[in-house]
Amino acid sequence: MPRTRTRLALAGAVAAALLLGGIATGPAAQADERHGEERTLAELAQRHGRYFGSATDNPELVDAPYTALLGSEFDQITPGNGMKWYATEPQQGVFDFSQGDEIVDLARANRQKVRGHTLVWHSQLPEWLTAREWTAPELRAVLKKHVQTVVRHYRGKVFAWDVVNEAFNEDGTYRETIFYRTLGPGYIADTLRWAHQADPHVKLYLNDYNIEGIGPKSDAYHRLAKELKAQRVPLHGIGLQAHLALQYGYPATLEDNLRRFARLGLDTALTEVDVRMQLPATEEKLALQAEWYRDLTAACLAVRRCVGITLWDYTDRYSWIPGFFPGEGAALPWDEDLRPKPAYFALRGALGEN
């Protein structure tokens, strides 16, 4: 859709959002109004053979209005933290699946599917792993046990895993993680093989940020994916996190990038979507944000092997952005009071609401 037409459509969405915010008396009233006869984002996406999901995290599950919308609007959930290494193996060889299980149980109750996140990442590792030096054989054994124990526990309960998260630097070189330093780049192929052994049916992804457009970092994933496929390593998809920011510009080559991974025989997914802005939020910024949400959704729908979209939580109430980017926020389609913003209506438009 031409940009001028998009902006005109979004101007109407802004007006609708403001009107809705003025009429409703609270989140529950708005949820009732929106869910009267309208299809949810998940239902709209399903007509295209896609899912539409949200991340969530254990502390917010006590928020009943939040969980009600989480359970009704989306058909997929990603646990924000509950399946990471620090949570699942807090002591060496001692596993705790309580946080991940809580989210899996919630998803099952709501007939939602779960994306496993994440098996290997340089961040949020337990101190027992990071506080000492490991030999290569020692760390290889630790890594294999962790990956296979976690994947076996969730076998049949998750449809996909972010197996290795954020393996590259911005210039396309390997990130100097504990795993890369000790085991070399082969740790990625090994981890994929171990995960596949533990659950031959789950889809295995590599996942990263700033790989939405074509550039050095996404090029590195494209090269690695070609190598892994040539070696018959079980890799099924690339997760593009899509943590975007208005001040840095929209990744105009997103659709082309999705297509080149598809040509390798890989699925893609937009896995951690948010579009932050420098505060305060203005009507103009919210309209531009909505345009970006519309465009990234359209890009996914245009590429058959882009299988779905996941918001990195759906509401500003629980966004990670303000805590990590001071002075920035308002990144999600619902505001802190669970009121839909222009971005929400843009998503509906992109998914073909009629």
Q: Which residues have CB under 8 Å from 143's CB, separation 6+?
A: 120, 179, 183, 187, 190, 191, 194
Q: Is 336 a catalytic residue?
A: no
**269 phi, psi to nearest 5 deg:** -150, 145
At 6, which helix (H) or strand (E)?
helix 3-23
Catalytic residue, chosen from 73, 166, 255, 291, is 166
Residue type, 66: Y
d(CA 12, CA 337): 21
Using the Cα atoms of residue 165, residue 171, residue 175 and residue 181 in order, give the sign of their dihedral. positive
Rounded-to-integer distance, Cα 36 and Cα 33, Å: 5
Specify whether the CB–CB gap between 261 and 230 falls below 8 A.
no
- Exactly one of 89, 212, 272, 291 is catalytic; name it: 272
Residue with tokens 């533990």: 198
Give dist(CA 275, CA 246) in Å, integer.
7
The pairing of strands 328-329 and 306-311 is unpaired
Residue 166 falls in the annotated catalytic set = yes
Give exposure, 115-134, as e/b (b: 16+ Cβ within 10 Å).
bbbbbbbbeebbeebeeeeb
Q: Among residues 134, 194, 200, which one has the least CA distance to residue 164?
A: 194
The residues with which 205 forms a beta bridge, in sequence order, are 162, 237
The one-character DSSP state at 159 is: S
CB 336 within 8 A of CB 314: no
CA dist., res. 208 & res. 44, Å (int): 27
Tell me which residues are annotated as active site: 166, 272
